[in-house]
Amino acid sequence: MTSIGPYAASGIGRPSLTRALADINSNLDSLSVQLATGKASQSYAGLGDGAATSLAMRSKLGQIASYQSVNATVNTRVSLMNTTLERLDDLAAEYKLTDPNEFMLTSGSVTIAQSQAAVDLKEAIAALNLDVGGRYAFSGRSTDVKPVISAEAMLADDGQKAGLRTVISERKLADLGADGRGRLSVSAASGGSFSVSETGAGPFGFKITSLSSSMTNGVASGPTGTPPAVTLGFTGQPNVGDQARVGLTMPDGTTTEITLSAKGADDSSALQRGEFRIGATPEETAANMQAAFDGALKTAASTELTSASAMQAGTEFFDVAPGAEPSRVAGFDGTYASDAERIAALQSATSLDSTGTADKTVAWYVGDDAAGDPRLTAAAKIDDGISVAYGARANEDGPRRVVQTLAVFSAMTFSADDADAKGRYAALATRTVSTLGDAKASSDIQTMAVDLAQVSTSIKAANTRHSASKTMAENLISNVEDVSKEEVAAKILSLQNQLQASYQVAANLSQLSLVNFL
């Protein structure tokens, strides 16, 4: 049969009318879906060469979303950690205004400032036990462990282990010695002079570091020898107001001076600390000077040395290096027939013990304590090839110093019947103000804050890059997957016109016969 035009049923190389109509309908269906969804295809197969671009960009968007989720989580943690550090810094700064001379005891045998320190200690501990989404931020790698024990557990014994108060008490006994002279020996005056010497007490008690004198006819030599000693006295009578000063260093590194001042024999006013009367002979004057020194030494031991001892005990309790054990007075764990025997052993101790002490001493920090940079205990990848480290430990110098000082300050008690109580408190409060108000204390905390602030800065920069990359990826996906509805509508109209024409031709062909053709 002869083929008729392009719509013949079997023309070589020519589509049939039925197929043409089917193609037009298929295209119309596809364009209708595009018009309804705004998408070029409902599957990647329909995107042709653009499928690879679409897949790659969607993978990129997934990666960006993952980074943004991590960044949001880390940013929240870092922000809360910085808030904690700011509060610790503020707590420390508040003690700059503490008046060491304001000695008013409460019912708990502590001052008002000490009562406030106990409250602040609990707040500092709560801040360092920061829990962000089930993760303790200041516990290093041990994120499931609350890093700092309670204030009560820190200060008191638990039955098997000694708390801070016991450690302070042991150190006090070792520093003051049995006679309360701070492990110094003061000889009786003989031949117009007397000597003051260390007793070889190791790290305990006073250390003689200097001697100066403006005494007329005075004897002042030293410190010399092993252990060091000084000699004071007279070869003749001094003048009223002449002075000599003995410089002493205490266990926490602070210093004090015992100042000796000559007072006239006819001066009937009461003698103050370090004052002595000029006697009838140089020998009597030397004896008076020795008595004045001995009294001033005992007072200094009861006040300044006791406070310095407590501070040093706090350092040994809190500032323990990774892998090390806390230092205790040697002999603290011996077997004694009585408390008196134990006390005597501590008063005569000459060394510290740091072997096996961890099992017998309360640990205030129980988080991760491995060697190495605390920041590296927590890390996160915030962008391709970029990671940040934001770990922290509560026993780092800044936070540790705040907890330690507040704990020691609040731990000591005083009695209104103790003549040296006010002076002892003044010495303790002065050290507390000096430690918490020191630039070093604030600097250590601020260093941690700066480290964490750099993490926030890095995350902010990464988020900016992610936003730009996200916009680019979304645009590329849109170029591949999205269609212009106006353009699709125009194509649909064109196909509808073609379809109408095709149906008209088909209708005409269906009525065609040879007679009509002829």
Helix 421-437 to helix 50-94 angle, to the nearest 10 degrees? 150
pLDDT averaged over every residue in the chain: 90
Amino acid 507 reads A
Q: Output the 3-class SS for 140-189.
A: CCCCCCCCECCHHHHHCCCCCCECHHHHHHHHHHHHHCCCCCCCEEECCC
The C-alpha atoms of residue 3 and residue 467 are separated, in whole angstroms, by 63
User: What number of H helices and E strands is found in the chain?
Assistant: 13, 12
Three-state DSSP class for 192? coil
Could you read off the pLDDT of 69-93 as tens digits, one per residue? 999 999 999 999 999 999 999 999 9
Question: Could you tell me the sign of the dihedral formed by the alpha carbons of 312, 315, 317, 321, in that order?
Answer: negative
The two three-digit tokens of residue 452, written as one number:
């964490």
Cβ pair 186, 293 in contact under 8 A:
yes
Which residue did the predictor score with more confidence, 492 or 268? 268
**pLDDT of 252 over the 80 cut:** yes
The two three-digit tokens of residue 322, written as one number:
């990774």
How many other CB atoms sit within 10 Å of the CB of residue 463? 18
Which domains are seen in the chain, by residue range? Answer: 39-137+374-482 (1.20.1330), 184-299 (no CATH)
Cβ pair 429, 113 in contact under 8 A:
yes
- What is the four-CA torsion angle of 50, 54, 55, 58, rounded to 10 degrees? 170
Cβ pair 391, 139 in contact under 8 A:
no
Q: Which among 16, 14, 11, 26 has a CA at the least distance from the CA of 505?
A: 16
The C-alpha atoms of residue 65 and residue 59 are separated, in whole angstroms, by 10
Mean pLDDT of 353-360: 96
The C-alpha atoms of residue 104 and residue 429 are separated, in whole angstroms, by 13
Could you read off the pLDDT of 151-205 as tens digits, one per residue? 999 999 998 999 999 999 999 999 999 999 999 999 999 999 999 999 999 999 9
Amino acid 40 reads A
Query: Residue 476's pLDDT is what?
Result: 78
DSSP structure string for 26-52? HHHHHHHHHHHH-BS-SSGGGGTTHHH
Tell me the CB-side half-sphere exposure of residue 470, using CA atoms within 13 A: 15
**pLDDT of 22 over the 80 cut:** no
The C-alpha atoms of residue 188 and residue 195 are separated, in whole angstroms, by 8
Mean pLDDT of 316-331: 97
Which residue did the predictor score with more confidence, 357 or 37? 357
Query: Residue 275's pLDDT is what?
Result: 98
Cβ pair 211, 230 in contact under 8 A:
yes
**pLDDT of 411 over the 80 cut:** yes
Query: Residue 27's pLDDT is what?
Result: 62
How many other CB atoms sit within 10 Å of the CB of residue 350? 15
Amino acid 374 reads P
| Alpha helix segments (H runs only) across 326-396 | 339-347
pLDDT band at residue 3 under the 50/70/90 scheme:
very low
**pTM, whole model, 2 decimals?**
0.85
Phi-psi region for residue 200, left (φ > 0), alpha (ψ -120 to 50) or beta? left
For 441, phi then psi, to 5°, come to -60, -45
Tell me the CB-side half-sphere exposure of residue 145, using CA atoms within 13 A: 15
The C-alpha atoms of residue 509 and residue 503 are separated, in whole angstroms, by 10
The two three-digit tokens of residue 258, written as one number:
């015992």
Q: Which residues contact 284 (CB under 8 A, 6 or more apart)?
A: none
Tell me the CB-side half-sphere exposure of residue 379, using CA atoms within 13 A: 12
Cβ pair 504, 7 in contact under 8 A:
no
Query: Residue 9's pLDDT is what?
Result: 46
The C-alpha atoms of residue 455 and residue 462 are separated, in whole angstroms, by 10
Phi-psi region for residue 237, left (φ > 0), alpha (ψ -120 to 50) or beta? beta
DSSP structure string for 261-329? EEE-TT--SPPPTTEEE--SSHHHHHHHHHHHHHHHHHHHIIIIIHHHHHHHHHHHHH---TT----EE
Length in residues, the chain: 518
How many other CB atoms sit within 10 Å of the CB of residue 371? 7
Cβ pair 460, 78 in contact under 8 A:
no
For 228, phi then psi, to 5°, come to -60, 150
**pLDDT of 102 over the 60 cut:** yes
In Å, how far from its chain's centre is CA 144? 17
**pLDDT of 2 over the 50 cut:** no
Question: Which residue(s) pair with 184 in the sheet?
Answer: 198
Cβ pair 22, 16 in contact under 8 A:
no
Could you read off the pLDDT of 423-461 as tens digits, one per residue? 999 999 999 999 998 877 789 999 999 999 999 999 999
Could you read off the pLDDT of 451-505 as tens digits, one per residue? 999 999 999 999 999 999 989 887 777 676 665 566 656 666 676 666 666 666 6
Query: Residue 310's pLDDT is what?
Result: 98
**What percent of the chain is modeled with pLDDT above 70?**
83
**pLDDT of 328 over the 80 cut:** yes
The C-alpha atoms of residue 160 and residue 326 are separated, in whole angstroms, by 15
DSSP helix, strand, coil percent of the chain (3-state; round to 5): 50, 15, 35
Query: Residue 48's pLDDT is what?
Result: 67
